[in-house]
């Protein structure tokens, strides 16, 4: 549809269109311990993405947000205060100092599994912030985008550590310590992950709360577990920076045992990990909050199909294979 006025005096009309996207993410090392100040590593998962596409809207109608996957249309002016898409748009326009929203339609789509620790919320917010900035002729740095998305995350996830918005907005592997500037770092040699979904929803807030209560009741052994998990994250960063992929498998396996000791693995996650290892994976562990969500396995790329089949046989509801680096 061409919305340019057809009046004879209009000699030139440029209608702005823009597209922006952002990847999913998985936590590779350090979940839970990161809440207690130890480092964690998260990496982008580029095979799955959220995309926001802006088109000109009806003149005078303001900004309209469309969540295409769920068939929801949200005019910004009428959106409730707790709508996450509208909140992202409002915070972005405020940040950019744009008083009135442009007449445009932003359509959001995502292939990132929702509520499975893959950062789908952060990715959708990132795509919206970026496309909206482009629409008003501005751009946001990765750091600015990350900070904006963190504000949205805080509204919906209580006390997020900030790892999701950081890795998704920077689209790079990130070494993350709570309260410190995130450290994106290079990966010297790419490696392949299989990400297997248990199909079990496990709210992060509940699992984090359980760990906190156990730590409060008996801090010393939990501190030791967190220290060891932190040391693994540190060693893994070094290994990735020098391309020592072989070192990563055993580190994942050890991190898995520590997550079991923390009480955040589950029979389903353990079964998927065992199946992946038996089929040739170099290492495996739960990713994210645990008890459900995803199992990640470091795999030889040539064995991706075999290991994917083994994971499905062991109960995975979906498997994503992705290259990191």
Q: Quick one: which segment of 67-75, 100-108, 250-258, 286-294 binds ligand PMV (CB under 6 A)? A: 286-294
Specify the DSSP element, H or E, that contains 40: strand 40-56
Q: What is the bridge-based pairing of β-strands 104-110 and 40-56?
A: antiparallel
Which position among 84, 288, 292, 308 is part of the footprint of ligand PMV (CB under 6 A)?
Answer: 288
Residue 208 contacts ligand PMV per CB under 6 A: yes
Helix and strand element counts for the chain (H, E): 9, 11
Cβ atoms of residues 318 and 48 within 8 Å:
no
Residue 37 or 221 having the CB closest to ligand PMV: 37
Positions in 214-273 near ligand PMV (CB under 6 A): none
Distance CA 47, CA 171 (A): 12
Q: Quick one: which segment of 31-39, 143-151, 229-237, 305-313 binds ligand PMV (CB under 6 A)? A: 31-39
3-state SS, 293-306, equals: CEEEEEECHHHHHH
How many angstroms separate the Cα of 82 from the Cα of each of 217, 251, 275, 282? 35, 40, 42, 43
Instruction: Annotate each residue in 187-206 with x if it binds ligand PMV (CB under 6 A) or - if it does not, as one string.
Output: -----------------x--
Residue 134 contacts ligand PMV per CB under 6 A: no
Give min distance, CB of 90 to ligand PMV, in A.
24
Instruction: Annotate each residue in 74-113 with x if it binds ligand PMV (CB under 6 A) or - if it does not, as one string.
Output: ----------------------------------------
Give min distance, CB of 27 to ligand PMV, in A.
6
Contacts of 64 (CB under 8 A, 6+ apart): 57, 73, 74, 75, 76, 104, 105, 106
The residue among 69, 80, 78, 86 whose CA lies nearest residue 152 is: 86
Give min distance, CB of 41 to ligand PMV, in A.
11
Give min distance, CB of 264 to ligand PMV, in A.
8
Residue 128 contacts ligand PMV per CB under 6 A: no
Cβ atoms of residues 283 and 251 within 8 Å:
yes
Give min distance, CB of 26 to ligand PMV, in A.
7
What are the catalytic residues? 164
Residues that bind ligand PMV (CB under 6 A): 27, 31-32, 34-35, 117, 160-161, 163, 204, 208, 288-289, 293
């Amino acid at each position: 549809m061409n919305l340019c006025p057809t009046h004879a005096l209009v000699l030139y009309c440029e209608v702005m269109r823009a597209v922006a996207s952002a990847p999913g993410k998985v936590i590779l090392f350090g979940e839970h311990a990161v809440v207690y100040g130890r480092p964690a590593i998260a990496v982008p998962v580029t095979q799955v993405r959220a995309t926001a596409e802006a088109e000109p809207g009806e003149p005078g109608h303001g900004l309209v947000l469309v969540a295409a996957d769920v068939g929801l249309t949200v005019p910004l002016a009428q959106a409730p205060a707790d709508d996450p898409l509208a909140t992202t748009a409002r915070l972005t326009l405020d940040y950019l100092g744009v008083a009135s929203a442009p007449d445009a339609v932003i359509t959001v789509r995502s292939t990132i599994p929702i509520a499975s620790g893959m950062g789908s919320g952060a990715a959708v917010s990132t795509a919206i912030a970026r496309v909206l900035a482009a629409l008003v002729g501005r751009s946001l740095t990765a750091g600015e985008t990350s900070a904006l998305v963190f504000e949205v995350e805080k509204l919906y996830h209580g006390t997020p550590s900030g790892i999701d918005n950081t890795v998704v907005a920077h689209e790079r592997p990130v070494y993350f310590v709570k309260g410190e500037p995130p450290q994106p770092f290079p990966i010297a040699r790419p490696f392949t992950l299989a990400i297997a979904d248990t199909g079990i929803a496990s709210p992060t807030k509940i699992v984090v709360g359980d760990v906190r209560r156990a730590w409060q009741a008996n801090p010393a052994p939990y501190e030791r577990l967190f220290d060891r998990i932190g040391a693994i994250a540190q060693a893994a960063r070094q290994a990735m920076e020098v391309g020592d992929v072989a070192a990563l498998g055993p580190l994942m396996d050890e991190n898995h045992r520590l997550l079991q000791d923390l009480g955040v693995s589950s029979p389903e996650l353990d079964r998927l990990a065992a199946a992946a290892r038996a089929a040739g994976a170099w290492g495996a562990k739960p990713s994210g909050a645990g008890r459900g969500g995803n199992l990640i396995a470091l795999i030889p790329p040539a064995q991706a199909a075999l290991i994917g089949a083994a994971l499905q046989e062991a109960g995975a509801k979906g498997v994503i294979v992705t290259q990191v680096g």
